[in-house]
Amino acid sequence: MSAATDTLDRRAHWEEVYLEKEEPRLSWHQDDPQLSFDLVTKVCPRGGRVLDVGGGTSLLGSRLATSGHAVIVVDLSGAALRRAQERAGAARGQIRWLVADVCGQSWSVDELVDVWHDRAVFHFLTDPDDRRDYVARAARSVRPGGHAVVAAFALDGPEQCSGLQVQRYDARALAAAFGPDFTLVESQREVHTTPWSSQQPFVYAVLQRA
């Protein structure tokens, strides 16, 4: 399968998900992305530049924009970003919205970012080539000394999500996946409660760009 075909397949899948399901039916939905906000703002003061990868309909981008950060939200699904803009309210105009595949070749940030944030994208990359493309894009996008805040299903987390297989991690394995360009500086565990009260353990890794 070519990279272009793979991107189209991924995009079609996530467009269908967001066109068919509102937030209460999305297992990863959070009313308040507090841990992501805390970890990002800990390493990125007001005025810093944040790229939220796979932002979906999350309110993280609007919270960061309201707190004075420069924010880019990227997602494969245009339907997701349209809903995210509606949810962002007055903050929507402060955010750059980008429909793109983080593993694709058709986009790039026009300025290095201070933080690359990803909650629940990386664990969907079960193909080693996709993981390499993702890590290479992160390394090109984050300024030296900047950070990546990446959350994925923990080792005791689900084996599937949204009908797709996932790759589970602990903090050490996440750091190893990002290779020599990033160093693990902090990790946290969060047990996410889905809208229907099941539990999904996540591991969050804060990685510093070399």
Going edge to edge, which strands form the sheet with 49-53?
Answer: 95-99, 70-75, 49-53, 113-119, 142-153, 199-209, 182-193
Query: Measured between alpha carbons, how far is 181 from 179 in angstroms, rounded to an integer?
Result: 6
pTM of structure: 0.93
pLDDT at 19 over 50: yes
Query: Measured between alpha carbons, how far is 177 from 194 in angstroms, rounded to an integer?
Result: 27
> What is the chain's Cα-based Rg?
16
137-179 pLDDT tens trace: 999 999 999 999 999 999 999 999 999 999 999 999 999 999 9
- Give residue 106's pLDDT: 67
- Give residue 202's pLDDT: 98
Burial 64-88 (b: 16+ CB within 10 A, else e): bbebebbbbbbbbbebbbebbbeeb
* Residue corresponding to tokens 């009260």: 197
Residue 6 CB coordination number (10 Å): 16
Residue 144 CB coordination number (10 Å): 9
Percent with pLDDT over 90 in the chain:
83
Query: Measured between alpha carbons, how far is 116 from 31 in angstroms, rounded to an integer?
Result: 21
Percent with pLDDT over 70 in the chain:
96
Q: Domains (ranges, CATH) in the chain? A: 3-209 (3.40.50.150)
- Give residue 4's pLDDT: 43
Query: Measured between alpha carbons, how far is 132 from 135 in angstroms, rounded to an integer?
Result: 5
53-100 pLDDT tens trace: 999 999 999 999 999 999 999 999 999 999 999 999 999 999 999 999
Average pLDDT, the chain: 93
